[in-house]
Structure 1
């Protein structure tokens, strides 16, 4: 004898707290209702089970005969979730357009919680590409967020919080550096961290410590070719320079125009500025570029430590395995 179908008549639910139905994700052919805070979503069990091992296991458990329903659909209350996270995630699960290149957003925490493995893997891979661990890859995306069209990118706090929450530690150095490389002064950085609530004490300390460390570090790495020291120790002019006085004057002008300002800024990974070589001879310009390139790479290698983080290899070892 076949088991009684799950759609048999059950008692309905009466809620004291006013509930609202999602206007976007209430499908008439849905078979399950997910309640997040005071919002309900009517969705297809098959879609959730196909992508989530958590929901797949949940749906294998037989429902009691008197399980309360709404429009013959069982109701699952998701404690601790937010409507915002689920609206963002359902926009991915039920895309209105193509899903290619979708941005990793705060809903990645829901992807992890309910083990939407394929979506979560895609999200983490995009984050790793946008905030890489190598200088070569960083140079491809450093001018703008070319892979992530993130509506809150003027504030990094959501992605910093997300990286910690999902265990993607290797993107933290570039996330922190991204704020500093916008050219903020120390006072501006403090104001930004204060105004954009949500940064933990750990992240605040890392950003401000990194700011001070990178200001010092860039002078002895990326910009070592200028050597902000006495003239006898200058990298330039080169020993084979045939216009020593002119190139020395050019170096002093570069230092004066670009670096001796009362509002010091982090420029550790800025690209070479062609204006710097305008008044240098070809020999000195080539040497300056070589020292600049080598110093920039050296500064990158020590970037995590500037923020009080482990070295690159150790950070990558801490990352959650997505393979």
Structure 2
């Protein structure tokens, strides 16, 4: 077997840096007939597989090889400038699937596949990535509720900010409201406030402001809609038909007290009814409170884009690429 070739990069007239070339441990196939070199990593693949997925490679392989083309083990070496080996590992994990279709992919994997599928015109993988993003961050409340905790994307809290950039980079604008909402409501290490105060995080000032303003607007929205039942001045609870007025009034005060004990007010606009709220309420008050809460969820959903300074859902969907 040939020793890994060395790529030379001249920094000045007298100094030459020798960068060792490594072969991919996973994507070096003995029957491969083309070698792609990305940064310092080589991938030995088949032209037929690349051509099947990518019109760019299909057209490239129709051209005759230059007479001085570099060869390794009888295979031409194509150096891909501007790509990263990590992105190619992500793309090849989809092209030669072991887990891509079974395990929710990470944001980094989706981003890598999208970058390369756009550059090399690989529509199958690009559409699959867009589908996963839109299913994970849907544009209707019914689709959102149907997820029921399921995930099509490994949604690590620390990757929510990169998801905003990814949505804008690839014109998946309709997923932005739910990404912003996820940033605002996540409790992971008080994520939103940590991010808002960390100027080193790569987060556009306009998006940072949208989250801060959105948090305040969501609190106002839920006080007028889904959580209006806890407002004693509105008189929803105790209900008019309440058989034990004073007991339910005390239960309501306990609910308000427990909600105020946290370091910051919680957001409930798209959440599900919490069973603990109804423990000490009578049937009439419980029914009234729950109806107010559940009826308001659609209203809150409709208002979600505007909360973050975005157009309505229909316009957002019209802005999506593909």
TM-score of the superposed pair, with normalisation by structure 2: 0.84
Structure 1 97/300 Cα, relative in aligned 2: closer, same or farther at 3 Å?
closer
- Structure 1 residue aligned with 2:13: none
From 210, 217, 220, the counterpart of 1:216? 220
Contact 2:259–2:265, Cα closer than 8 Å, also in 1: no
From 174, 177, 185, the counterpart of 1:181? 185
- Structure 2 residue aligned with 1:105: 110
- Structure 2 residue aligned with 1:5: none
- Structure 2 residue aligned with 1:21: 23
* Counterpart check, 1:161 vs 2:165: yes
Correspondences of 1:1-323 after superposition (within 5 Å): 15-17=7-9, 18=19, 19-97=21-99, 99-100=101-102, 103=105, 105-107=110-112, 108-141=114-147, 143=149, 146-149=151-154, 152-183=156-187, 188-193=191-196, 194=198, 197-227=201-231, 231-259=232-260, 261-321=262-322
- Structure 2 residue aligned with 1:10: none
- Cα distance in 1, alignment partners of residues 142 and 32 from structure 2: 47
Judging by fraction of residues, say which structure has more helix.
Answer: 2
Structure 1 42/232 Cα, relative in aligned 2: closer, same or farther at 3 Å?
closer
Structure 1 315/155 Cα, relative in aligned 2: closer, same or farther at 3 Å?
same
Q: Deviations over 1:257-289 (max 9, x none)?
A: 224655222222221112212222212211111
Deviation at 1:202, TM superposition (A): 3.2
Deviation at 1:209, TM superposition (A): 2.1
- Cα distance in 2, alignment partners of residues 183 and 97 from structure 1: 29
Aligned pair count? 303
Q: Give the gaps of 5 or more residues in structure 2.
A: 10-18
The higher-RCO structure (CA 8 Å, 6+ apart) is 1
Deviation at 1:87, TM superposition (A): 0.8
More moved, 239-248 vs 124-133: 239-248
Contact 1:160–1:175, Cα closer than 8 Å, also in 2: yes
